[in-house]
């Protein structure tokens, strides 16, 4: 565990413990430096991490403040590459199919840059409180994800990749649009043909810069809403 992550965790805990709310002030940087016995740069890194996650913001000449989202109940983060966490409760997963392909269909193939295009095609329906909210169609290169079983697919693929395979997801590209559902997809999502849906096309990159996963997510418009907290801080 890196020092700045530890410091970030401690600050997060302190916010929770002291029940600090949006706009409440944190100790000044110098105090954090003394309290945690680290250098200013390390505290700044920790604060950068927290700022990126939407937990705090800094005002030059004034202080560090808690930035708490008004109310995220039921909203899910579109943007962190960490799967679904926290705000969406009672998630269950129905594995529809796991196929092994010599190469993915064109819509996914065009993004991969490896020669060896053998891949898994995984289709899942994910539910929250028994209501379907997203239909997933994912293509994983076997080169990076050599094995997927139904049991694995039942859980978090992110967790499996990072912990089970010890591969790191470093960044992602997302393409999003809205369209009308066709009957087949609509049925799976318990909607009707012509109903609206948000489509998210995700490209996930390994630590080496190669795409290992191309996914297409179709969200049920009635059971999914999203949030994002952005900040212009770098450090």
Binds a second copy (CB under 8 A): choice among 67, 118, 127, 143? 67
As to burial, measured by CB atoms within 10 angstroms (0-12 exposed, 13-18 middle, 19+ buried), residue 167 is: middle
CB of 209 to a second copy, least distance (A): 6
**Among the residue ranges 33-41, 91-99, 119-127, 149-157, the one whose residues contact DNA (CB under 7 A):** 33-41
Query: Distance (Å, rounded) from C-alpha 125 to C-alpha 134?
Result: 6
Q: How far is the CB of 76 from a second copy (least distance, A)?
A: 10
| Whole-Å CA distances, 34 to 47, 76, 119 | 15, 36, 51
HEC profile of 125-166: EEEECCEEEEEEEEEEECCCCCCCCHHHHHCCHHHHHHHHCC
Is residue 166 near DNA by the rule CB under 7 A?
Answer: no
Helix (H) or strand (E) holding 186: helix 183-188
Q: Binder to a second copy among 89, 105, 146, 178 (CB under 8 A)?
A: 178
Please identify which residue in 13, 23, 34, 40 interacts with DNA, judged by CB under 7 A. 40
In 3-state terms, what secondary structure has residue 192?
Answer: coil
Output 184 or 234, the one with its CB closest to DNA: 234
Among 16, 17, 59, 71, binds DNA (CB under 7 A): 59
Closest to DNA by CB, 23 or 194:
23
Least distance in angstroms from the C-beta of 184 to DNA: 41
Total residues in contact with DNA, by rule CB under 7 A: 27
Q: What are phi and psi of 197, to 5 degrees?
A: -155, 145
Burial 184-223 (b: 16+ CB within 10 A, else e): ebbebbebeeeeebbbbbbbbbbeeeebbbbbbbbbbbeb
Q: Does residue 75 bind a second copy (CB under 8 A)?
A: yes
Stretch that binds DNA, among 26-34, 79-87, 100-108, 172-180 (CB under 7 A): 26-34
- Residue with structure tokens 């801080």? 233
Q: Is residue 64 at the binding interface for DNA, with CB under 7 A as the rule?
A: yes
- Binding partner selected for residue 113 from DNA, a second copy, none, CB under the kind-specific 5 to 8 Å limit: a second copy
Point out which residues bind DNA (CB under 7 A). 2-4, 26, 28-30, 37-42, 44-45, 58-64, 207-208, 233-235
């Amino acid at each position: 565990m890196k020092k700045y992550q530890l410091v970030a965790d401690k600050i997060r805990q302190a916010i929770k413990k002291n029940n600090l709310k949006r706009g409440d002030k944190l100790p000044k940087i110098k105090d954090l430096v003394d309290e945690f016995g680290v250098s200013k740069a390390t505290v700044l890194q920790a604060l950068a991490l927290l700022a990126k996650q939407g937990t705090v913001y800094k005002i030059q000449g004034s202080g560090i403040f808690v930035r708490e989202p008004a109310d995220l109940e039921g909203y899910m983060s579109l943007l962190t590459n960490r799967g679904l966490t926290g705000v969406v409760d009672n998630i269950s997963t129905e594995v529809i199919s796991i196929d092994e392909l010599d190469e993915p269909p064109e819509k996914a193939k065009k993004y991969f840059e490896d020669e060896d295009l053998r891949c898994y095609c995984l289709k899942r329906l994910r539910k929250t409180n028994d209501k379907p909210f997203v239909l997933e169609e994912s293509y994983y290169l076997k080169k990076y994800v050599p094995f997927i079983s139904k049991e694995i697919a039942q859980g978090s693929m992110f967790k499996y990749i990072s912990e089970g395979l010890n591969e790191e997801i470093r960044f992602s590209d997302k393409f999003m649009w809205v369209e009308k559902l066709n009957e087949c997809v609509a049925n799976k999502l318990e909607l009707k043909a012509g109903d609206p849906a948000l489509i998210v096309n995700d490209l996930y990159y390994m630590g080496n810069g190669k795409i290992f996963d191309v996914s297409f997510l179709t969200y049920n418009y009635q059971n999914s809403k999203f949030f994002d907290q952005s900040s212009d801080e770098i450090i």
